Structure 1
Amino acid sequence: MAEAARIPLIHITDLYHPPQDPDDQFDLATVLALPELELKAVLFDVTRKFLVSAPAGWDVKRDPGIVPVAQADYLQGTTIPTGVGPQDPLSSLEDDVSDRPKREQSAIELLLDVLRGTSKPVAVSIVGSARILAATYLRAPELVRAKVTGVWVNAGSTAQGELEWNVTLDPIAYRVLWNSGLPVRWFPCATEKSAFDPEPERGTHWSATHETLLSGLPDHWRGWFAYGLSGSARGDILGAMDALGRGAVWENLQAARRSMWSTASLVMMAGRQLVRTEHGWRFEQDTSASGADPELWPWRLDPIEAVVDDHAQVSWTETSSPTSHRLFGRRPGAAYGRAMAEALNALLVDHLN
């Protein structure tokens, strides 16, 4: 694909090593596999409780996912800029975290550098909390509004009640995002029943086994997944990928089931549809101009009016009036997950080589 036609993307992710939730590695792989996306930076959205071991922390000590990105760089022959964000939630709606330690500033400084240096506005994907983008917006609101075409946020719930996981990581940042006026493309992680319901029209969740998702990948990419999913502590981070894509570590990962939420947002950003082809379900570019009439699993972004309250709950209604916010919708049904799994596997096999 011609460079001029690609979509500049800044990917904000709570990817850790060892993983806190391994879907983040699959999200990164999806970004890398979509040729329509030009990855400008990966920003690590970290939270203190995951960086220290119990009892002070959540469970085990983790690092930001710098190693998986460095490994992917090696496999692709690229150099993806990375930065690490602040560890603690915003303290107020005006907190731009400029008083935090220097080691917590690199993600915000990198985001500002990318926005200042680009002649083409960028998309921002968020698969964690909104902390990095919110703090950046509070430092330079005009710049962010001018240079961000859309915020593809995977967080929150369409229903009132308990806050969804990603929102709990920084409720104030989530409020800043919704109050910013930035164009939000909202892919809620939870709906009326839970964050794990595969049925609803607004639901993004689906799941599949690692065996289904990773079948057919080259050994070195299998090793990349195995290194991350197993939380490997091997110091030979490049050589390990040649070894871990086969044998006991690889085999022991196959039966595990992986919950996913963010895939649709990344694929839709790239302008692709979920299409049944003669080879099975695939993520394909829009074929309507060619006169083809493929079978689709339809999805869409509906215009909404949205208001966030003091507790980070979003109230929304569909609207026909001009609005900058859009909400994900799809044809309901649990079979969506089987179609997504088949299509994601094909995307990874076709483009990770």
Structure 2
Amino acid sequence: TVVPPCCSQDMGHPVPVIHHTDLYHPHNDPDDHWDLATLYGLMTRGNIDLKGIVIDHPLNAAKESNEPTWGDPALCAVGQLNHLCGSAVPVVVGSSNPFDPDTDYASSGSAGSGVDFLLQTLEESLEPIAITVTGSCRDIAIAGKAAPDLFQEKCRGIYLNAGTGTTDQSKGANQEWNVLLEPEAYRAVFEIPCPIYWVPCFEAMDFRVATYGSYWTFNQREILPALSQPLQNYFLYALSRSEDPKWLRYLDGKPDPDLMKQFSAQRRNMWCTAGFLHMAGLICDMEGMIHFADSSVESVFSFEPISMTLGSGGVKDWRSDPQSTDRFIFKVRDVERYPCAMTAALKTVLSEIAPSEVKVRIEDATGPLVSRTFAILKDRIEHRCSARVIESASDAEIVLTIDADL
């Protein structure tokens, strides 16, 4: 197993991360909302330090469809999770201009806010940063061509969630969605002089769990009902393609039972969870328990050192190469147990995103006394601590559930 250079246990503090995504509202595929919440969960656990989020320009993915069926970058989703986690992760929108392999980006000036943000964040960081790519490769490719030396010095690894493990054209080699968004940019990422952790979305384009593909699926009822109510509302807002402009207040109160029933019954395709864990210096055992990457337990996934040959459309060929130190491919070590393990791990990470609780024990209390005590505590918390009480439990124990940013 390749132990990532960004192992949080070795570093003694969270791994700095930039997340690049095609996150929209209304969504194209809501797996991106699950992925974003996963990163916030890892940040809440103390495994990563999310330095920023770059969202693909909405017209990026419309090249073959003229007009996208999805909405604009989901800045509201970032705002919701920032609020729930008491954080202030910055978000920018990527370039609207396609990657041009013949352009000298190093001398052509600004290439857009997304690229500028990437380069500035790398430049100002005191330590190398990990980058996740779960959408188009456009901004990463432009940034890598503009400042290859900066990536060599300051990027500890690019986790590239794109492509297929197979190189057989008859099985869909280089025909995966994220590749087709911009094939030349996809190819260019592999030329950036930093470690590349390649996470093919599929082994072949058949939506099956396989050895060299990260794809897995779960039923949303396995996780959604177990999450905190504000986080449930975050998902319901995205899954229902809500048009409610009050996206922050949508997090309040009880989740809509009809929407919970509707969306708990749906299956969700996923691709990025294992790569996120590895990036954070973590592994997942066969039962879905999370451990530090240098643990002796057997992980359900690994990264295999490889050497590769590039073609005009992306990866032409690759082979296992134990001597490689900067190119790796994702590998499922147990195809049968991988989906259940990922489901358990995802549930564990997302369970970290929950409101804070303050418990007050009242001995031999009567109902009216508990109610009056709760009212007093609620008033003091809301007016003196700039927090808002969401719910309570009665009887002899009062539970005040408050916003996490207290």
How do residues 106-185 of structure 1 correspond to structure 2 at under 5 angstroms?
106-160=113-167, 161=169, 162=172, 163-185=175-197
5 Å matches for 1:35-74?
A: 35-48=46-59, 56-60=66-70, 62-74=71-83
What is the TM-score of this pair, normalised by structure 1? 0.88
The structure 1 residue matched to 2:242, chosen from 228, 232, 236, is: 232
Q: How far apart are residue 180 of structure 1 and its match?
A: 2.2
Structure 1 gaps, min length 5: none
Amino acid at match of 1:82: V
What residue number does 1:334 align with?
336
- CA contact 1:40–1:81 (8 Å) conserved in 2: yes
Code of the aligned partner of 2:24: Y
Q: 1:92 to 1:231 in 2, by over 3 A?
A: same
Determine the structure 2 residue equivalent to 1:309.
311
Higher-Rg structure is 2
1:49 touches 1:57 (CA, 8 Å); kept in 2? Answer: no
Letter in 1 for 2:185: A
Structure 2 unpaired stretches of 5+: 1-7, 356-406
Quick one: which amino acid aligns to residue 203 of structure 1? G
Alpha-carbon deviation of 1:244? Answer: 6.7
Which residue of 2 is the match for residue 265 of structure 1?
A: 275
What secondary structure does 1:179 align onto? coil
Counterpart contact for 2:94–2:139, Cα < 8 Å: yes
The residue that corresponds to 1:89 in the other structure is 98
Rounded Cα–Cα distance in structure 2 between residues aligned with 1:31 and 1:98: 34
Q: What number of residue pairs does the alignment pair up?
A: 339
User: Offset of 1:349 from its aligned partner?
Assistant: 1.2
Describe the SS at the equivalent of 2:132. Answer: strand
> Which residue number corresponds to residue 190 of structure 1?
202
Q: Which deviations, in whole Å up to 9, do the C-alpha atoms of 1:75-107 show, x marking residues without a partner?
A: 11211111111234313353649989x8x8211
For 1:26, the aligned partner's letter is: W
**AA matched with 1:39:** L
Alignment-derived partner of residue 220 in structure 2: 210
**Post-superposition shift, 1:243?**
4.5
Partner letter of residue 202 of structure 2?
Answer: A
Instruction: Find the aligned partners of 1:169 and 1:242 in 2 and give their Cα distance.
Output: 37
Kindly provide the CA deviation profile for residues 20-41 of structure 1, in whole angstroms up to 9, marking residues without a partner as x: 0111111111111112110000
Q: Tell me, in whole angstroms, the C-alpha distance in 1 between the residues paired with 2:198 and 2:305.
A: 10
Q: C-alpha displacement at 1:302, in angstroms?
A: 1.0
- What amino acid is aligned across from residue 186 of structure 1 in structure 2? W
Distance 2:292 2:119 in 1: 31
The residue identity in structure 2 corresponding to 1:75 is: L
- How far does the alpha carbon of each residue in 1:134-176 deviate from its partner, in whole angstroms, 9 at most, with x for none? 1111222211221101001100112132421100011111111
Q: Distance in 1 between matches of 2:134 and 2:238?
A: 17
Q: In the alignment, what sits opposite 2:261?
A: 251
In structure 2, C-alpha distance between the alignment counterparts of 1:93 and 1:213, rounded to whole Å: 46
Residue identity over aligned pairs, in percent, reads 29
Query: For residues 95 and 69 of structure 1, do their structure 2 counterparts lie closer, same or farther at Cα, with a shift above 3 Å needed?
Result: farther
Equivalent residue letter for 1:224: Y
Which amino acid is the alignment partner of residue 122 of structure 1? I
Aligned partners of 1:8 and 1:123 also within 8 Å:
yes
Residues 160-200 of structure 1 show CA distances to partners (whole Å, capped at 9, x for unaligned) of 324211000111111111122321001101213x25111x2
Please report the TM-score for the alignment, with normalisation by the length of structure 2.
Answer: 0.77
Determine the C-alpha separation between the residues in 1 that align with 2:83 and 2:299.
Answer: 35
Give the aligned residue type for 1:238. L
CA contact (8 A) 1:7 1:123 kept: yes
**1:282 shift after superposition:** 2.1
